[in-house]
Amino acid sequence: MARMNRPAPVEVSYKHMRFLITHNPTNATLGAFVEELKKYGVTTLVRVCDTTYDKKPVENESIEVIDWPFDDGDPPPSKIVDDWLTLLKTKFSEQPGSCVAVHCVAGLGRKRRGAINSKQLSYLEKYRPKMKLRFKDPNNHKNSCAIV
């Protein structure tokens, strides 16, 4: 099995939503990458960069692969943001506690100071929530809500 010489993935959890921010594998490191996804219980993988590896080995492990590429260093287009929010609402309503993984070309922005560029920072400062993610509470309490 090829050795991955990449930063470790970062898991982010909020209530019953789990995300895995990871690197972009190559075909040579794909076996170890898939094992990593399985270790975290990933059910969906979102690629936001151009395709650089065969997705069939990932899908063979019952992990859905979604391709929403946009230019590296840019904020996502509105259509991708809308699709992302719809995915999260559906995924975490149907499978609470499941894990959604996402990666870009290099994943550099997840672990170093100053990684968010001025275009991305401006986008975040101006961003206004488009929808609320509401989920049924299994304990029959008021609906949980996360504004994204």
Which residues are known to be catalytic?
72, 104
3-state SS of 106-142?
CCHHHCCCCCCCHHHHHHHHHCCCCCEEEECCCCCCC
Q: How far apart are CA 39 and CA 45, in angstroms?
A: 14
Tell me if 12 sits within 8 A of 19, measured CB to CB: yes
Residues contacting residue 75 through CB under 8 Å, at least 6 positions apart = 119, 120, 123, 124
Per DSSP, helices labelled H in 2-146 are 30-39, 56-59, 78-94, 118-126
